[in-house]
Amino acid sequence: MKAPELDVGSLYRAHFSDVRRFVFHFVQNAALAEELTQDAFLKAHEAWGSFRGEAPERIWLLRIARNVCLDYLRSPRARQAKAAPLDECGGMATAPGREPPLTVEQAARQAEMTECVQEFVLSLPETLRTPLILHDMEGLTNAQIAQVLGVSLEAAKMRLHRARARLRDMMEVRCDLFYDERNVLSCLPLGPIRSPSD
């Protein structure tokens, strides 16, 4: 089955924000996420002839974006930048109108929780980090995660389960967990975050 004619503009407009957000969760740097997202779309353009529609375009693009991220993370450039701090776009946006405005103290605590959780997620091995990002941050189903990763549905479920268990274990050891006055789970890091040995 021949790939449909490519409309680069519509593909880009329809999926750029999803791909960029996914990439950002990998690298935690806005400028780098922009660059790697452009690389992913370039590779998608080059590979369009091999697209057969077995998976939706978004899933196919996320698979390409994951490979671009993995190539970057294996590069000498990534090793040099490994200690770079999270940038200002690290926070997760909250849907407007659903909750009352935060006080300065609450906002600071929520930002600390977000940064803490992000550090834990980033410290997971890639095989566990990716399904967690795809499910909990991108909203993909287990079946879609399996397509992005190129694994069976059962393998995708197992990786997600292991990722959540590892994240919970790390947070229990390294964080003082508590529920704030709004009944939102918060944490205060007790020390440097290190991934437990596999």
Domain boundaries, the chain: 7-82, 103-198
What number is the average pLDDT over the span 84-99? 39
Residue 191: pLDDT band with limits 50, 70, 90: low
Quick one: 122 exposed, middle or buried, by C-beta within 10 A (0-12, 13-18, 19+)?
Answer: middle
Tell me: the pLDDT tens digits for 129-178?
999 889 988 889 999 999 999 999 999 999 999 998 898 888 777 776 66
Residue 89: predicted pLDDT: 35
Two structure tokens written together for 126? 């890639």
pLDDT higher at 19 or 45: 19
Residue 168: predicted pLDDT: 83
User: Which fold, 7-82?
Assistant: Rna Polymerase Sigma Factor; Chain: A (1.10.1740)
User: What's 103-198's CATH class?
Assistant: mainly alpha
pLDDT higher at 113 or 36: 36
- Report the C-alpha gap between 115 and 57 in whole angstroms: 31
Residue 69: predicted pLDDT: 93
Measured between alpha carbons, how far is residue 161 from residues 128, 157, 164 in Å? Answer: 9, 6, 5
Q: Is the pTM of this model over 0.75?
A: no
Residue 50: pLDDT band with limits 50, 70, 90: confident
